[in-house]
């Protein structure tokens, strides 16, 4: 039975990826930080859901991403065939307030992981999670692909560029199997509540139920290439299973504004978002990235991947989930 080690397993992508691997013939291991709380709502069901095959094949390991000795210990214990590095401080706005933590986890953490694999077992296949934020906006370009230059506009994006370049360096210098996935925005009902997509769907549900009156947002004109986390986790597995390591943009090729997200989320509940949304200048970022759209033709032609869940269905699924969530806590 092959083993996969997932850093950031308690996050949105980590939970879907663990779920996906557990439905196959894999043993899943996750890296988590030790804390006073053991409540991990996105993955708790993986330990006790009878209907999910292989729920006993998951194990968590305590380690900090910038603790080389801890990573060496975990990798030596697990001896995985695959490592998926999703660990990061991934909120762009927060990265301006905690730039050192962001750089430490998102950037130096990746370096510690690559170095651990180089020392212990160069045969391990690694997936490094990149981000469309590395591109820093359109800057006159129509779409962004693997050949597009990076222009990071936040500490988060700069840290991801650092990790991306290190992945390429370790691949070339030490012949490690490291693939970079440059993922554009992807959402789901498991998205953190501090991200704009989930903030919108939760607010729409609360307003529909009479529990909230105002939604404060920053830049509603920003445009993003929004996909579903499940689609993108499917891409991650395909990238890790490919014959050769490479870099891939994972996107939908379609762009929608925050306003479009509001239209669909509130409209789905027969609400007019303009009656409830207020612009809060404090929520604006020092450097705004206005437009991001990706070209996924490389991963489609080489690996056969393409998105399956539409933007509209993504938004509706998130709204439905948040309505059920709120109603269950009445």
- Angle at the Cα of 221 (from 216 to 223), degrees rounded to 5? 115
Residue 71 in contact with residue 113, Cβ under 8 Å? yes
Distances 203 to 188, 198, 242 between C-alpha atoms, Å: 15, 8, 41
- Of 21, 156, 232, 296, the catalytic one is 156
Residue 112 in contact with residue 65, Cβ under 8 Å? yes
Residue 19 in contact with residue 25, Cβ under 8 Å? no
- Of 26, 27, 127, 133, the catalytic one is 133
136 Cβ neighbours under 8 A, 6+ residues apart: 150, 151, 152, 153, 157, 289
Q: Is 131 a catalytic residue?
A: yes
Q: Is 193 a catalytic residue?
A: no
Q: Is 62 a catalytic residue?
A: no
Beta strands (DSSP E) in the chain are: 2-7, 26-32, 58-62, 82-85, 125-131, 177-183, 186-187, 215-217, 223-224, 227-228, 247-250, 256-257, 277-279
User: Which residues, listed in sequence order, are joined to residue 257 by a DSSP beta bridge?
Assistant: 223
Q: Phi and psi at residue 138, in whole multiples of 5°? A: -75, -40
Q: What kind and span of H or E run contains 68?
A: helix 68-78
Give the whole-angstrom CA distance, residue 32 versus residue 87.
Answer: 9
- Of 131, 148, 188, 222, the catalytic one is 131
* Catalytic machinery residues: 131, 133, 156
């Amino acid at each position: 039975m092959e083993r996969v080690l997932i850093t950031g397993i308690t996050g949105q992508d980590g939970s879907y990826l663990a779920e996906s691997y557990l439905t196959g013939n894999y043993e899943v291991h996750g890296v988590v930080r030790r804390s006073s709380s053991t409540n991990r709502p996105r993955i708790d069901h993986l330990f006790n859901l009878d209907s999910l095959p292989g729920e006993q094949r998951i194990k968590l390991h305590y380690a900090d991403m910038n603790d080389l000795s801890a990573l060496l210990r975990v990798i030596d214990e697990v001896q995985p065939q695959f490592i998926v590095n999703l660990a990061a401080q991934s909120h762009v706005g927060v990265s301006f307030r905690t730039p050192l933590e962001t750089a430490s986890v998102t950037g130096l953490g990746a370096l510690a992981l690559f170095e651990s694999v180089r020392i212990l077992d160069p045969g391990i296949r690694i997936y490094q999670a990149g981000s469309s934020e590395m591109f820093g906006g359109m800057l006159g370009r129509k779409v962004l692909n693997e050949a597009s230059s990076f222009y990071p506009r936040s500490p988060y994006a700069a840290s991801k560029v650092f990790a991306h370049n290190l992945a390429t360096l370790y691949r070339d210098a030490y012949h490690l199997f490291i693939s970079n996935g440059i993922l554009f925005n992807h959402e789901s009902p498991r998205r953190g509540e501090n991200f704009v997509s989930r903030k919108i769907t939760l607010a729409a549900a609360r307003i529909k139920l009479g529990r909230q009156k105002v939604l404060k947002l920053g830049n509603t004109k920003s445009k993003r290439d929004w996909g579903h986390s499940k689609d993108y986790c499917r891409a991650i597995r395909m990238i890790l299973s490919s014959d050769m390591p490479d870099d891939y943009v994972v996107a939908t090729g379609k762009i929608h504004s925050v306003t479009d997200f509001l239209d669909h989320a509130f409209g789905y509940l027969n609400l007019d978002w303009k009656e409830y949304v207020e612009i809060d200048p404090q929520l604006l970022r020092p450097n705004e990235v206005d437009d991001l759209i990706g070209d996924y033709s490389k991963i489609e032609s080489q690996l056969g991947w393409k998105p399956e869940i539409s933007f509209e269905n993504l938004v509706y699924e998130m709204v439905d989930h948040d309505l059920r969530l709120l109603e269950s806590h009445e």
